[in-house]
Structure 1
Amino acid sequence: MDEASRTYDVVVIGGGPVGENVADRARAAGLSTVIVERELLGGECSFWACEPSKALLRPVVARADARRVPGLSQAVRGPLDVDAVLAHRDRMAAYWKDEDQADWLGSVSVDLVRGHGRLVGPRQVSVRTPDGDTVRLTARHAVALCTGTGTALPDLPGLDTAGPWTNREATAAGRVPGRLAVVGGGVVAVELATAWQALGSQVTLLVRGDGLLTKMEPFAGELVTEDLLEAGVDIRLGAEVASVERQSGTDGPVRIGLAGGDEVTADEVLFATGRAPRTADVGLETVGLTPGDWLTVDDTCRVTNVAGGWLYAVGDVNGRALMTHQGKYQARAAGGAIGARAGRAPVDDARWGAHAATADHVAVPQVVFTSPEIASVGLTTHEAERTGRRVEVVDYDLARLTGAQQYAKGYRGRARMLVDTDRGTVAGVTFAGPGVGELLHSATIAVAGEVPLERLWHAVPAFPTISEVWLRLLETYRDTAG
């Protein structure tokens, strides 16, 4: 076994979009940088999450929208072309090859070491390569952990031998299971239930709680529930899984035992039961941290309880906002902060307000790509109540908009705006309905920019578009507030 040693200004463990952005910003500051990646460059988002899942969902949602359009609805009554959908998914996942990502790293002068990287002390990383060699990396300024998260599987009898699906198997599957049980009621669960039901599975959704998407405004989950039921999904609320058993070897059906004695049989079972940080085997114990824990960071994503200020944890691994776009946002801040602390900040950092990630406290945008779409940013009503924030809740029925009526016959949707009555700004927005994902950035600007309501009156929405909801929300607030 050979051992080599190299020294860089910055060592990044994890080559997903977050790690790539940290490395890009550090390199832009003139710092020598290396990425360590044990799987595929591009990470979960490119190959097993955002890209392939949205490729599966896009034809489903487009067909659902088309079926609501007079003159077009009859033309889209047939089933989806499954082979074409899966081929499109494969293209969007780059056929699970990362040569383009590796070429990009080379174009920005970031080095790559493939293998499993672990901390072995302050500013020290040991990499076990696929060939069994060891590469020892020393960081002059910073090590950034960008290892993301994986599915948090529950401790259930029989699960370890049942071969359950996680998001990885569900987004990469090459065939449609006849029966698919989905355990969970959050974003991953409802998106993949939507996709696979439309592709031909009979989906049973097993939800331990009393509704779907319970972290969002209640009407969001209610509207998604209505559409899933209409599509034929069997939704079972209050269903707690107690055991899982794969029958007749690895190819047999799965028997899922529920608390109370009921059973569900499926060809595959997908667990979408939350995420856990990938920190169990990255050497945290060598720097005084606990393996498997989420990492606590400041607003520059620097780990707060490691002496010397050299360790950063960026993206999902710090638990602040588990979405790719937020991780990339954090990465830009962290990379800029690393450059600034090394005395090598890019010239544009002051202009663009780098070195602090604050939007993931107050303005996290999220789209759920179901039918209907759900888009939200900022506080929900429940969060405002829990934190003691004084808000006025303003609701509007999207179906009343001419733009929505043009979009689809029988449009169903709803909008909610939370007005901070002390500041006169928007504290949160949730949209639910076909096509609302494209409304989200305007809401994000309003929340993150703390735009005063008196200025929002002068942001005139085009007619007839769904964005006219902004005017109607403001009018509703004016009328109800007196």
Structure 2
Amino acid sequence: MQVDVVVIGAGAVGENVAERTARGGLKTVLIEKALVGGECSYWACMPSKALLRPGTAVNAARSIDGARQAVTGSLDVDAVLQRRDGFTSHWDDKSQVEWVHGAGIELLRGAARLTGERMVELATEDGTTTSIEAGHAVVVATGSVPTIPPIQGLDSVDFWGTREATASQEIPRSLLVLGGGVSGAELAQAYARLGAAVTLVVRGDLLASYPEPARRLVEAGLREDGIDVRLHTTTQKAAQDDSGIHLTLTPTNNDGGAAPSIVSGTKLLVSTGRHPALTDLGFEDVGIVPEDLETNSSGQVAGVEGGWLYAVGDAVGKALLTHQGKYEARAAGEAIAARAAGDLDGGTPEPWSRFAATADEAAVPSVVFTDPEVAMVGLTLERAREGGANAKGVELPIAVAGSALHADGYDGWAQLVVDEDRQVILGATFAGPDVSELLHAATIAVVGQVPLDRLWHAVPAYPTISEVWLRLLEEYGL
């Protein structure tokens, strides 16, 4: 079988690559062994946010006098789960398959692996194999898989990963959560608000890659929901018996020789990170060590003669976020189509062209959809200084007319990281209820490298939470 482009993996990232190459006139094959739409559609972004949103909406109403009196009941668990099921299309990919066909992309089902230069072998469930030759490019968009920690006894415990947690049809009486990253924090709060007694065990600090004040606001929000938050705590052992699942815990830095403690629950969620899904893809057959995979800004894999092999999204491991993966995919798809048409020379495209995914270096936006939320883009103050920038942090509580109207006792925090030499913003973080809607303005400021004296003329509407932008600039001295 001969085509122009083969895309391995039909998640959101693979779909975006294939759509761009097909739109560019290239015969494109998209290969998927599970559900078309991938992790985000069925087990990550969409179902987790669907589980979180009802609790956030109720809490928002309770935060306003006059509205809180109208909230007389608790969440309808069955309705929440049914709404979640709707967002996952009940784990049926029919509509996504229809979209693929409508975009002029050929969909093949099965497991794919590289077998040589521009060659892919497809193995289907019925045992047949097909060799596919790609005239222009093969793109690996296989996403990521959970990283399971080496905890004694864990392999004998029937635990959840994030897939099982986002797809569960019941709420356990009690839930132990291992991992204080984004997924661990979000799912701990979702399940607590749906009625589970939750214990969150974190080896280090909660949301460790975010600024300290933002972390503490989220921690306070989790504790307010009754979550038993155990920070700087190591899980030494896991065990399961008829009464439930039991974790043996010690302080991470146990210099004082503190005695172990035991926490128990009916279910255990392990959410301790993810890593690129690159096994059994045949990279070795084309001279690539999967652990050493590197790509340029248009997704071309380094060390492959002829530049025909691409990798995008979580498979590359740069920023494990759906929106960043889709961004990389758009750049790669555009570059493949342009190279096939002879409109783009080989090598790395110019920065900030549509063929280059350069925002991964210093302008990644991310949101933690806990309540309160955390929204961040670009560099933290520490990372900016480590990179050699003459950086200054400007930070304030979010206390403006818009926030006071938004919720009684609104508690939030904002920070800008300013390059003192160039007078532009390198990063921004907001923490508080509904701050995710502030993020795109910050992303534009960072990507556009908008000078502060020009940003001063971007007048925030009154009374909105965005007025914090004005207060931050005033705090800086403008």
TM range (shorter): over 0.9
Per the TM alignment, residue 345 of structure 1 is displaced from its structure 2 partner at its CA by 5.8
Give the equivalent residue in structure 2 for 1:3.
none
Which aligned pairs between 1:322-401 and structure 2 lie closer than 5 A?
322-343=320-341, 353-398=353-398, 400-401=399-400
Report the Cα distance in structure 2 between the residues aligned to 1:151 and 1:132, rounded to whole angstroms.
28
Give the equivalent residue in structure 1 for 2:46.
51
Structure 1 pair 83–345 and aligned structure 2 pair: CA distance change class (3 A)? farther
Q: Provide, for residues 430-451 of structure 1, a one-character-per-residue CA deviation record: whole Å limited to 9, x for no partner.
A: 0001111000000000000001
Whether the 8 Å CA contact 1:194–1:370 is kept in 2: the answer is yes
Which aligned pairs between 1:244-255 and structure 2 lie closer than 5 A?
244-248=238-242, 253-255=244-246
Structure 1 pair 294–269 and aligned structure 2 pair: CA distance change class (3 A)? farther
Whether the 8 Å CA contact 1:67–1:77 is kept in 2: the answer is no
Whether the 8 Å CA contact 2:178–2:272 is kept in 1: the answer is yes
Whether the 8 Å CA contact 1:197–1:231 is kept in 2: the answer is yes
Give the equivalent residue in structure 1 for 2:254.
none
Give the equivalent residue in structure 2 for 1:135.
130
Amino acid at match of 2:96: Q
Report the Cα distance in structure 2 between the residues aligned to 1:124 and 1:318, rounded to whole angstroms.
20
Give the equivalent residue in structure 1 for 2:11.
16
Alignment gaps of 5+ in structure 1: 1-5
Structure 1 pair 458–240 and aligned structure 2 pair: CA distance change class (3 A)? same
Amino acid at match of 2:363: A
Three-state SS of the structure 1 residue aligned to 2:209 is coil
Three-state SS of the structure 2 residue aligned to 1:240 is strand
Q: TM-score, normalised by structure 1?
A: 0.94
Report the Cα distance in structure 2 between the residues aligned to 1:101 and 1:345, rounded to whole angstroms.
31
Give the equivalent residue in structure 2 for 1:237.
231
Report the Cα distance in structure 2 between the residues aligned to 1:104 and 1:42, rounded to whole angstroms.
10
Within the alignment, does 1:286 sit opposite 2:285 as a pair? yes
Report the Cα distance in structure 2 between the residues aligned to 1:389 and 1:35, rounded to whole angstroms.
43
Report the Cα distance in structure 1 between the residues aligned to 2:18 and 2:294, rounded to whole angstroms.
21
Give the equivalent residue in structure 2 for 1:472.
471
Which aligned pairs between 1:19-418 and structure 2 lie closer than 5 A?
19-209=14-204, 211-248=205-242, 253-259=244-250, 261-291=260-290, 293=291, 295-343=293-341, 353-398=353-398, 400-418=399-417
Structure 1 pair 215–222 and aligned structure 2 pair: CA distance change class (3 A)? same
Which aligned pairs between 1:410-429 and structure 2 lie closer than 5 A?
410-429=409-428
Per the TM alignment, residue 354 of structure 1 is displaced from its structure 2 partner at its CA by 1.3
Report the Cα distance in structure 2 between the residues aligned to 1:262 and 1:415, rounded to whole angstroms.
37
Report the Cα distance in structure 1 between the residues aligned to 2:115 and 2:244, rounded to whole angstroms.
44
Stretches (4+) displaced over 3 A? none
Report the Cα distance in structure 2 between the residues aligned to 1:282 and 1:109, rounded to whole angstroms.
26
Report the Cα distance in structure 2 between the residues aligned to 1:213 and 1:77, rounded to whole angstroms.
33
Report the Cα distance in structure 1 between the residues aligned to 2:342 and 2:34, rounded to whole angstroms.
31
Percent sequence identity over matched residues?
Answer: 50
Give the equivalent residue in structure 1 for 2:443.
444
Q: Provide, for residues 242-286 of structure 1, a one-character-per-residue CA deviation record: whole Å limited to 9, x for no partner.
A: 2222224xxx61122224532221111111111111101111111
Per the TM alignment, residue 77 of structure 1 is displaced from its structure 2 partner at its CA by 4.8
Whether the 8 Å CA contact 1:294–1:317 is kept in 2: the answer is no
Report the Cα distance in structure 1 between the residues aligned to 2:78 and 2:170, rounded to whole angstroms.
9
Per the TM alignment, residue 128 of structure 1 is displaced from its structure 2 partner at its CA by 1.1
Amino acid at match of 1:377: V
Give the equivalent residue in structure 1 for 2:253.
none
Whether the 8 Å CA contact 1:21–1:331 is kept in 2: the answer is yes
Q: Provide, for residues 218-246 of structure 1, a one-character-per-residue CA deviation record: whole Å limited to 9, x for no partner.
A: 11110000011111000111211122222
Give the equivalent residue in structure 2 for 1:460.
459
Report the Cα distance in structure 2 between the residues aligned to 1:160 and 1:214, rounded to whole angstroms.
27
Report the Cα distance in structure 1 between the residues aligned to 2:446 and 2:72, rounded to whole angstroms.
40
Report the Cα distance in structure 2 between the residues aligned to 1:397 and 1:421, rounded to whole angstroms.
22
Structure 1 pair 345–100 and aligned structure 2 pair: CA distance change class (3 A)? farther
Q: Provide, for residues 6-38 of structure 1, a one-character-per-residue CA deviation record: whole Å limited to 9, x for no partner.
A: 111100000001000000111111111000101
Amino acid at match of 1:230: E
Amino acid at match of 2:33: R
Structure 1 pair 18–180 and aligned structure 2 pair: CA distance change class (3 A)? same
Three-state SS of the structure 2 residue aligned to 1:445 is helix
Amino acid at match of 1:196: Y
Per the TM alignment, residue 332 of structure 1 is displaced from its structure 2 partner at its CA by 0.6
Three-state SS of the structure 1 residue aligned to 2:468 is helix
Q: Provide, for residues 123-173 of structure 1, a one-character-per-residue CA deviation record: whole Å limited to 9, x for no partner.
A: 111111122211211111110000010110012232223121111001000
Report the Cα distance in structure 2 between the residues aligned to 1:303 and 1:290, rounded to whole angstroms.
11
Structure 1 pair 15–294 and aligned structure 2 pair: CA distance change class (3 A)? farther
Per the TM alignment, residue 459 of structure 1 is displaced from its structure 2 partner at its CA by 0.9
Q: Provide, for residues 160-215 of structure 1, a one-character-per-residue CA deviation record: whole Å limited to 9, x for no partner.
A: 23121111001000000111111111111100011000001111000111x21110
Structure 1 pair 190–421 and aligned structure 2 pair: CA distance change class (3 A)? same
407-416 or 112-121: bigger deviation = 112-121
Report the Cα distance in structure 2 between the residues aligned to 1:126 and 1:283, rounded to whole angstroms.
10
Report the Cα distance in structure 2 between the residues aligned to 1:22 and 1:79, rounded to whole angstroms.
43
Per the TM alignment, residue 294 of structure 1 is displaced from its structure 2 partner at its CA by 6.0
Three-state SS of the structure 1 residue aligned to 2:279 is coil
Q: TM-score, normalised by structure 2?
A: 0.95
Whether the 8 Å CA contact 1:295–1:317 is kept in 2: the answer is no
Alignment gaps of 5+ in structure 2: 251-258
Amino acid at match of 1:191: E
Report the Cα distance in structure 2 between the residues aligned to 1:60 and 1:282, rounded to whole angstroms.
41
Within the alignment, does 1:430 sit opposite 2:429 as a pair? yes
Report the Cα distance in structure 2 between the residues aligned to 1:344 and 1:101, rounded to whole angstroms.
32
406-415 or 450-459: bigger deviation = 450-459
CA RMSD of aligned residues (A): 1.6
Per the TM alignment, residue 75 of structure 1 is displaced from its structure 2 partner at its CA by 2.1
Report the Cα distance in structure 1 between the residues aligned to 2:391 and 2:28, rounded to whole angstroms.
46
Amino acid at match of 1:415: A
Whether the 8 Å CA contact 2:381–2:392 is kept in 1: the answer is no
Whether the 8 Å CA contact 1:29–1:344 is kept in 2: the answer is no
Per the TM alignment, residue 388 of structure 1 is displaced from its structure 2 partner at its CA by 2.3
